[in-house]
Structure 1
Amino acid sequence: MLRRIDFINPFGTRAYDEIIHRTLSHYAGDGTELTITHLEGCPPDIDYFYSKHLMESVLFERIMKSEEEGFDAVIVGCCYDPGVRTARELVDIPVVGPMEASLQMAAYHGHTYTIVTDHHKAAPYIEDVVRLSGLGGNCRGLRTIEWFVRDMITNPDAVALDTITRCREVTAETHADAILMGCTIVAACYQQYIMKGGQPPEMAIVNPNLMALKVAETLADLKQKGGYHISRSGYYEKPQGHYAEEFTKARSKFIKAMDL
């Protein structure tokens, strides 16, 4: 049975599409049609939070359109998991965040893990994501490699080598069993380096792109076979009654204003 997965790079640029496709499509299961998309009309990166909030509004439209276009699941390709919970209020297909998926899958790689993310600005936000998930009990901390995402794409091999060095330092420091890469572009740079024949580090690596893909494929299969239903009785309740009318009007105005 064909499953269609939309991996949305939540950036207003196509700069990251190719490296994600190159490093992720190899791992797609039989019967998976993996599409890599990006956003239009929003900032090219979300290193700063104002840009992140602008991007999320456009992202919600892209996710709703993904459902309308027949995708079976959506991955929001950033470890901030931007807009993931809000999007689940809007659509009935599974919406997967790479960080949440990685936290859920980390125990299969090792008993404890340390997160290695991109830079100091991202670190406290990622810590908040972990805390909100309730899955951080075996996390032994978070460290950074001090690269911003827009710079990574210009020198991905350097990013990979810095990441591997940091992983070794962090493992020696924390004695964690595994490293969870807390950035999808860091993970893509690392994966590309390994796929080109680079030497991987000695510890287990939790790659958020791969974890998100496998979670999305599983939930898509369950959705197709009637085994996935998101609760609409509380947190993810859809707008109802006059709230639905307000939502439709607000969405229409937003689409017109943004020329989407």
Structure 2
Amino acid sequence: MELKIRVILPTVVDVFVEEAIQEFKHYVSDAVEVQVRNLDYGPASVEGEYDEALCVPNLLEKAIEGEKEGCDGIISLCFGDPGVKPAREVVNIPVVGAGEASMLYASLLARSFSVVTVLPNVVPMIENISKKLGLHSKLASVRYVNIPVLELVDKKKMEDSLFEEMVRAIQEDKAHALVLGCTGMMGVATTLHEKLKDHGYDVPVIDPSFASAKMLESLIAMNVKQSRLTYMPPTQKLYK
């Protein structure tokens, strides 16, 4: 049976769309069709609470549209997990956020983990996600490479900066696993793991896009979705 998932990039620019399409082909099985959609209106990137608030309305519309078009699950492809909780209230298919998925996987594999993200603006957001997940005690640190999301297309600069901060996270913060703190950091996790291993640190490096894909695929295979005791449908009222 073929499955269909919708990956929503919560930005109005399409700079990461083609890369996401190509990467997700490697993340999921051949029986899964992947739709990648970006927003019609909202921010160019999500680098703070304001950006997140602006991207949520159209993200929810895209999620509802995906369910109506027969999708079996939804991914909010941003480490801040924008719109994940409200989307769980309005659709009857599983919804996964890249941030929560990657932190949950990291917590399975190590006693502590660090997230290496883009800018200092998003550090509080990531810390809040770890608290909501009940994983804050395992979060060794949140570090950043000081590269805006839209400049992550320079893969060499991104990879070098990530490696430097990952080594510091291991040596100074006692991290036993590393999480890439932005879904724009696709395609570098394996290389970073090998570089760390060559330097004597055999620790997992979690790609949030990959983590969200496999988590959603597992939930669909298990035929489970969000609890209606936790995520109750919105009450009937006027919305304008």
Q: Calculate the TM-score normalised by the size of structure 2.
A: 0.90
Letter in 1 for 2:227: S
- The answer to whether the 8 Å contact 2:89/2:231 transfers is yes
1:80-126 per-residue CA deviation (whole Å, 9 max, x = no partner) reads 00010011000010000011111221133322211111110011111
Q: Which runs of 5+ in 1 are unaligned?
A: 254-260
RMSD: 2.0
CA–CA distance in 2 between the matches of 1:171 and 1:28?
30
Q: What SS does structure 2 have at the residue aligned with 1:137?
A: helix
Letter in 1 for 2:231: Y
Q: What SS does structure 1 have at the residue aligned with 2:136?
A: coil
1:13 aligns with 2:13: yes
Task: Look up the match of 1:166.
Answer: 165
Consecutive aligned runs of 4 or more in structure 1 exceeding 3 Å deviation:
none
- The answer to whether the 8 Å contact 1:103/1:136 transfers is no
% identical equivalent positions: 26
- The answer to whether the 8 Å contact 2:140/2:175 transfers is yes
Q: What SS does structure 2 have at the residue aligned with 1:40?
A: coil
Task: Look up the match of 2:67.
Answer: 67
Task: Look up the match of 1:56.
Answer: 56
Map 1:1-260 → 2, pairs under 5 A: 1-153=1-153, 155-186=154-185, 188=186, 190-191=188-189, 194=191, 200-202=195-197, 203-223=203-223, 228-233=224-229, 235-240=230-235, 243=236, 245-246=237-238, 250=239, 253=240
Q: Calculate the TM-score normalised by the size of structure 1.
A: 0.84
CA–CA distance in 2 between the matches of 1:11 and 1:104?
25
Aligned length in residues: 235
- The answer to whether the 8 Å contact 1:109/1:206 transfers is no
CA–CA distance in 2 between the matches of 1:7 and 1:60?
12
Q: Which runs of 5+ in 2 are unaligned?
A: 198-202
CA–CA distance in 2 between the matches of 1:109 and 1:23?
23
What is the Cα deviation at residue 30 of structure 1?
3.4
Letter in 2 for 1:236: Y
CA–CA distance in 1 between the matches of 2:234 and 2:129?
25
What is the Cα deviation at residue 229 of structure 1?
4.4
CA–CA distance in 1 between the matches of 2:137 and 2:32?
33
CA–CA distance in 1 between the matches of 2:3 and 2:128?
32
Letter in 2 for 1:98: A
- The answer to whether the 8 Å contact 1:4/1:32 transfers is yes
Q: What SS does structure 2 have at the residue aligned with 1:89?
A: helix
Q: What SS does structure 2 have at the residue aligned with 1:121?
A: helix
Letter in 1 for 2:196: P
Q: Which has the larger radius of gyration?
A: 1
What is the Cα deviation at residue 215 of structure 1?
0.5
CA–CA distance in 1 between the matches of 2:99 and 2:151?
21
Q: What SS does structure 2 have at the residue aligned with 1:180?
A: strand
CA–CA distance in 1 between the matches of 2:156 and 2:187?
7
Task: Look up the match of 1:257.
Answer: none
